Chains A and B, each alone.
Chain A
Amino acid sequence: MLELSNVTYRHHDAMPKLTNPFYQRVGPGIKGISIQLAPKKILGLVGPNGTGKTTLMKVMAGLLPPEDGHLLIDGNPVIDENSMARLRHAVSFMPEQVGWPGPGTPRRVMSRLCAMRGEDNTNGLLMLDLVGLTQRANDDLSTLSQGMRQRLSLATALLGGPEVLLLDEPLNGLDPVAQAAFRGLLRQLASNGASIVVSSHNLNELARFVDEVCILHMGRIVSIGTITEVERFLGIPARLEAAGLGTNPSAALTAAIEGVSVSELTEEEGSDWHLEIALHEEEWDTGRRAEVATVISESGAKLSHLSVVNSDLEHILEAATGLSAEEAGFAILSTEEAT
């Protein structure tokens, strides 16, 4: 399986000067990343723009050579042609927003890639069928919508049945129906044994289908684990959102349940109160949630809505960096420029 051991990669940006036309500035990248991908798992790679998600994926795909540390496949460092060939067979990469400008057709694209892999053309057609592009297989690439181009990119990544699938912002451009189908397909691939890495800057979107998330900030891993684990690691309490009619149950909740803090949220239409109920150092399991419902009912209020709140990226970044979401997001560029 694929593993990164203390990997560092920094981009070298061309910054020609009058005195040195070949001058390059060390730019952003990733630093000291160690991560091991597990089979049958979907890992979400999350972070603001420019934080190193794509760079990390390209290093994993063997497209960018680590400056420091090692990329390992089945425990062996990828250092020669043999290990690179093994990596190429095992790992597949779908870049963000491939242009597919043509001329050509999806069928020809797949046929060309099958030729590169020494595979039969029918495999390419099967992948087109899997992503729902059979009807458009012979259409010119220039006539495909953005969503269809994304599907074609996915089909190219699925070719050869990779053990590790690296998908860079794959949901961009897909309509909700295609997104649901896409999530189902990824779950199916993972249950068949594939290890999948999906990058996104939208944590809520990923929360719907990933097993674990890896939070990246300024080229480093801030935290990795299930969303709940990440939240607790960063000291973010487990939260419930509740709304209802009648008396506000804040005081009753704080008095009845130990370790709970309640804060008022903006009132929702059709409800008299709207609360966020935070539980420190424990989880909102079914029993706990039932306890909340009972306390609210006994306080004379009528509960109309109760749900667990997942943290968004801004929330997690604020917790991880101690900065405001805006500062944390923009810190990436300013700090890197200073180095």
Chain B
Amino acid sequence: MSLAACLLAYSLAVAVLGPPLLDRLTRSGVAPRLGVAVWTMAMGSVVASWVGAAGLLGVELYRAWGQVDLLLAGCFATLRAWVDGGHGGFLQAGLEVLIALTVLAMALLAGRLVAALRRAGRDTRRHAEAAVLATRGAPRGPGGTLVVDAAQRSVYCLAGRSPAIVITRGALDALDDTQLAAVLAHERAHLTGHHHQLLAFTSALAKILPGLRLFTEGTTQIGRLVEMRADDVAAHRHGGHTVVDALLALTIGTTVPASALGAATEPGIADRVERLLFPLDRARSRRTQSAVLGALLLVPAITAIIVLTGSPLCLTPFSA
């Protein structure tokens, strides 16, 4: 019981303190892969501690009754205790109802997470299919891309059973050969880095728990960092200036009013261009990198401390 409480306290601490801290650490986009790892670790450890707590509480509950209809039994016990006026029994039963509710809430969240992930998968497949239909069975474009006959300049990729890069005729016309190669390298980096799967998971979490900044802010930041990571891969092969030129070729003259709702506006273009053109100096980037690495190691360290040394604090038996 107390271990479960400790896990929940830990998740609360990470959920509250994590976002501002991690935001500061990963803002500059130094070592984007580390940044992604540290956000993912924070989010994942919170989810894991919930699962752990729910599991522990579930076991506790099972031991308490060793039967089904737990909620109902809890309610009856509470009522009876109240009628009898026995304080200890009342507290015990009330606690067990609380536990049952927590376990139920966790199960509900897990169900909603699975449903959100399946919806995302279905819509992605559906979109890929519509993209194939839009190409009218025409041969693939450069690098096996799906070329959609549309004037707007757009390039994106879809993961799934049949990963695809979609490029519009407008984008093809706007890019020269090296810029196109850099754009394709960027998109392939998303696919090989499994960025879609990660983002699908974090955005599903953000969607079902919109009140938790760790998930909403984390999803935004991971989205930003994977773009930077993909930029780095493309810049490594084709040069930072080529990537910047490609970014400019696809964006200049396409601005939308800030109020345009629903548009997939990109908050990070200036940041991406800045770090490609003016990389941070070595010393500063190494400092930031160590800080991120430290944060990355902090999470397992805290978990270990909870489990190993927390015995007097966390491992006191429930009914004591």
Partners in one complex: no
